[in-house]
Structure 1
Amino acid sequence: MKRKILSMLLVTAILASVTGCGEQKTVSKPTATENTSSGDITVGVILKTLSSEYWGYVAAGVQAASKDLGVKVDLQGPASETAYDEQNNMIETMLSGGVDAFVIAPLQSDSVASVIGDVKIPVITVDTDAQIPGKVSFVGTGNDNAAYLGGTFAAKKAGKGAKAAIIGGVEGNATSDARQAGYTKALEENGVEVVSVQYAQSNPDTAANVMENIITAQNGDIQIVCCHNDDTAAGASNAVKQLGLKDVIIVGFDGNQSGVQNIIDGNITATCAQAAYTMGYQAVETALKAIKGETVETFVDTGCEVITADNAEEYLNTLKGYLK
C-alpha cells in the first residue's frame, strides 16, 4: 500500500521531525503467558460506530489483522457517533465478558475513561486519544504533522505572498487545534499569510456560509483554503464557485471516497488522507504485543498521505477495495 506523496523531500523532513519522539512502554504483567498462542487471545474492539465509511475502513483493518495475526477479535460499535450511552453499555458488557486487551475509539473521553476504570488488561485508544489508567498506547494520526503536509503542499503550489483562510471543525477541540496548528505552521513557514481562521462545526452548509463571509471580508483576495475535513472543503468549494473565484487551492482532511472524488471532479485540490485501515490493523497488532508483554510505542503515528489529482484515482480504488 505504498504510494508516492507529492514530494519525497517533504516526507523525509516530516519523518525526521517525528522519528524518536514516541516513548516506549513495556507491559510487565501480560495477561497471556509466553506459551499462549495468538489463537487463544481475544482482543475487544469498540469503535465510534460501524455505520460510516470512515469507520468501515478502520473495521476492515481490524478484521485483516485478526486474520493475519491469528487473533480472535470481538468488534463492535454503536449506531452513530452520538450514541454515547450505547457505547458505554458496550464497554461494560465487553469488559465483564473477559477479553485479553481492549481497543477503544472513545465518543466521550471522560465518560469512557470512567466506565473502563482501572482495568487489569492493556487498553489501546485508536483514532481519538483519552486519559485511561490502563492505556498503553494511542494509535492514530499525528494531526499536526498531517495538516503540516497539506499546508506545505498548498503553500508551495500558491507561492510566497499568497493569502490563506483556515476553516476548522469545533473551536477548542483537541483535534481541530492540532490541525489548525499544523496548517498555520506550514503556511507561515512558506511565506503565506493566514488572514482568517473560522469554524464551521464540520458542516458543509455552515462552511459555505463561513467561506462566503471570508471572501467578502477579504474582497475576494484568497488563494488558499485549508479545511479540517472533506465535508468542510466541499462546502467551501461551493461558496468559491458561487462567487466566481478562480484557481483557489482548497485542501480537505480525512481522505474519504467523497473527498477523493471531489478532487477527481475538480471541486477541491487535495486532501490529507488519514490511514484509517492502518489504524485498525496496527491497533490490534499493538494490543497483541502488549498482551505478550512486548515493548510498545505509547503513540503509534499511522501517518498521512496528501492526495491530489496525480494520485486520486489510484487512492480511490484502494479505498473501494477496503470495503469489499
Structure 2
Amino acid sequence: MKKLLGIAVGTAMLLGTTAHSMAADTMALVVSTLNNPFFVTLKDGAEAKAEEMGYELLVLDSQNDPAKELSNVEDVLNKDIKVLLINPTDSDAVSSSIRAANRKDIPVVTLDRGASRGDVVSHVASDNVLGGEMAGKLIIDTLGGEGKVVELEGVPGTSAARDRGEGFNKAVGASEGIEVVASQPADFDRTKGLNVMENILQAQPEVDAVFAHNDEMALGAIKAVQASGRDIVVVGFDGTSDGVAAVEDGSMLATVAQQAGMIGAIGVMTADKIINGESVESYTPVPLKLVTK
C-alpha cells in the first residue's frame, strides 16, 4: 500500500507540475540586437525574472533591422502572448510594431528605448538625459573647464541617442571653455566607433576628450586614440563588462553604468502587474551610476 501510495503521490505531483507549466502565461521579448553585450545582459535579466515568476518568455532578435523587428512582432502576435516587451531598433520605426500589437489588444512595454507613436502601457529605462549630463560634467571637471570635445552619437532616431546627447550638450553648453569640435553618429557599434574616430582625429588636430553614447563606440574610439598616440580621455555609457574592464585598466576614464539586467527584470515585473490587472507607472526609471577607477 505504501508503495502504491508513493506512486500515486508522485504521479499527482508530476501531473501538477505539467499542468502548471502548460498553464504558464507567455510574454514575448523582442530585442533590437543580441550582437551587443548590453542587450544580452538585458535579455538575461528578463529571462531570469520570468523563470523566477513562472512565466514563459519568448525572445527574438531583430538584428538592428526595423523590418526584421516588425516580422518578429507579427510572429509573436500570432502566438498566445499576454504582453509584448520590446527594445526598439528605432523609436520612430517601432511604431508599426506597436500599432500591430495595439490592434490585437496586446499590452506593450518598451525597454531602454522609447517609441514615438503607438500606445505603450509602460516604459522602463535609465534616465538617459541625466546620464549624459553626468558624463558631460565629469569631462568638464577632468579638463578643468577648458578643452575640445568629440561626441560619438548612437543610432539616429533612437530615444537613447537623443536623450544622452541632450544631457551631454546641456552640461558642456553651460561651460564657456568647452567646445564640441565634432559630433557624428557611429550607430552604437565598436567598429564604426573606431572608423569615425579615426576620421575625426585626422580632421581635428586638437581633441582633449570623447563622449561616446555607449561603451561599444567608446572602445572603438579608444583603439583609434591609442593608434594616434595622442592623450585623449574617453567616457562611455552603459557599464558593460568590457567597458568596466577598460575603466579598471585605465584606458577609459569612466562609463555611465546602466543596469541592463535590472531593466529586463523590471520589464517582466511590470508585465506581471499588467497581466494581473494592477496599475503600473507610465515610466519606471532605473538607477544609473558613474563607474570610475
Q: Report the TM-score, using the length of structure 2 for normalisation.
A: 0.79
Describe the shift of the 1:71–1:217 C-alpha distance in structure 2 as closer, same or farther (beyond 3 A): same
How much does 1:209 deviate?
4.6
- 1:292-311 matched pairs, under 5 angstroms: 292-309=276-293
Q: Which residue of 2 aligns with 1:61?
A: 45
1:104 to 69, 83, 86: 86
Q: 1:71 to 1:258 in 2, by over 3 A?
A: same
TM-score normalised according to structure 1 size? 0.72
SS at match of 1:296: coil
Aligned partner letter, 1:147: G
Partner SS state of residue 280, structure 2: strand
Which structure has the higher relative contact order (CA within 8 Å, separation 6+)? Answer: 1
Q: Is the 8 A contact 1:118 1:134 kept in 2?
A: no
Partner of 1:122: 107
Please name the residue that 1:71 is paired with: 54
Count of aligned positions: 267
Matches within 5 A, 1:20-169: 41-50=25-34, 52-68=36-52, 70-78=53-61, 80-82=63-65, 84-85=67-68, 87-107=69-89, 108-131=93-116, 133-169=118-154
Structure 1 contact 51–79 (Cα < 8 Å) conserved: no
SS of equivalent residue, structure 1 residue 196 = strand
CA distance in 2: counterparts of 1:225 and 1:50, whole angstroms: 26
Structure 1: give runs of 5+ residues left out of the alignment.
Answer: 1-38, 310-324
Q: Distance in 2 between matches of 1:206 and 1:133?
A: 31
Q: What does residue 176 of structure 1 align with?
A: 161
Task: Indicate which of 229, 236, 245 corresponds to 1:261.
Answer: 245
Q: State the alpha-carbon separation in 1 of the partners of residues 135 and 224 from structure 2.
A: 21
Query: Which structure has the bigger radius of gyration?
Result: 2
Q: What displacement does 1:136 show?
A: 0.6
Which has the higher mean CA deviation after the structures are superposed, 193-202 or 280-289?
193-202
Once residues 230 and 91 of structure 1 are traced to their aligned partners in structure 2, the CA distance between those partners, rounded to angstroms, is 28
Contact 1:168 1:202 in 2 (8 A): yes
| 1:120 counterpart SS class | coil
Alignment match, 2:15: none
Asked whether the 8 Å contact 1:45–1:73 carries over to 2, the reply is no
SS in 2 for 1:145: helix
- Per-residue deviation, 1:286: 0.9
